[in-house]
Copies of this chain bind each other. A is one copy, B any other.
Amino acid sequence: MLCSCNNCHIKTIFYETLISNQLDGFCEARTELVLSKGVTFIRQGDEIKSFKYLKEGLIKLHKVDETGKTQIISFGKPMDFVSIHNIFAEKTYSYSVTTLEKSIICIFDLNIINNLVKTNGEFARKIIQTTTRSANNIISNSLDMLGRSMYGKIARVLLFFQEEIYFTYGFDLPVSRKEIAQYTGLSIETVIRVISEFRKDGLIKVYGKRIEIIDKKGLKAIYEYSK
């Protein structure tokens, strides 16, 4: 069965808003794509033809600015809408999307979604709600970053992976120091140095990509007092 995943946010929206015959057609129109780590499956400038949804895995949204510098906009986790920030507003993507781990993407034809928005107001309302929340998250994030020192920025990144992605104190960082630099706006060396300092201060243990958070309170304090 195609629409059988547990905890599927979009399925929940469908069940809450669609009448059952709409739901059936919808599930049949779904495509599932299994992608390995490091695959760029949406490219900045590509025409938007489908609505994508992250079922499993981890992704990054990133873009290249006029000067050629790469910036990471945000990280996406399961149940996130991948393509929301442009899909309803523009014809092409203004950013790229790349998997950071093996991921499963659900793909719906854009016309079907658009049609549902047009013909089902309750569905539309839910979509507005979800896209707005997601955009709000990105906005709070960048505003937050803008006001913090390098220590606060790095602490936030580590806490993000611990609290929102892996839930355990030990985990393998899915991003390189360079990618953390692209996300925080810091230089690579600064990122490496701050991680080293955290290690020397006994806040974390580091074995290459492997991070173990030893003193979470301390890390959180650094984050909070870093304004």
Contacts and interface: CB of A to CB of B under 8 A. Distances in A.
A71 interface: yes
B227 A129 contact: no
Contact of A135 (B65, B120, B139, B146): B139
Q: How many copies does the complex hold?
A: 2
A154 to B, nearest CB: 14
Contact of A147 (B65, B84, B144, B147): B65
A63 to B, nearest CB: 8
A44 to B, nearest CB: 13
Nearest to A142: B142
Contacts of A67: 224-225, 227
Interface in A199-225: 224-225
Interface in A140-159: 140, 142-147
Given A117-B121, A118-B124, A128-B88, A139 B136 contact: no
Interface string A82-119: 00111011000010000000000000000000100111
A146 B136 contact: no
A118 B84 CA distance: 20
A133 interface: yes
Contacts of A132: 84-86, 88-89, 131, 135
Nearest to A131: B132
A34 interface: no
24 contacts: A65-B144, A65-B227, A67-B225, A71-B143, A71-B147, A84-B132, A85-B136, A85-B139, A89-B128, A89-B132, A89-B133, A117-B121, A117-B128, A118-B121, A121-B121, A121-B124, A124-B125, A128-B128, A131-B132, A135-B136, A135-B138, A142-B143, A145-B146, A146-B185
